[in-house]
Amino acid sequence: MANSRIRILSRLAFFVCGAVSVLMGNAHRAIFAAIGAIGDPGHIAHGKWDTHSAALAVVGGIALVIALVPSSWIEKLCRVGPDDRRLPSVPIKMLGGFAAFSYFLTVGLYFAPVSWHPNQELVFSLCPACVLAITVDPSLESVLLLLAPLDAAVYGALGGVLGYMQVVLRNRS
- Cα separation of 153 and 36, whole Å? 27
φ, ψ (nearest 5 deg) of residue 166: -65, -45
Alpha-carbon span 110 to 69, nearest angstrom:
38
Closest CA to 154 of 16, 14, 17: 17
* Number of C-beta neighbours around residue 109 at 10 A: 19
Q: Mind listing the pLDDT tens digit of every residue in the chain (173 residues)?
A: 456 787 788 889 999 999 999 999 998 888 877 766 565 555 555 555 578 888 999 999 999 999 998 877 877 777 766 566 555 678 889 999 999 999 999 999 888 887 887 787 788 888 889 888 877 778 999 999 999 999 999 999 999 999 888 888 877 76
pTM of the model: 0.84
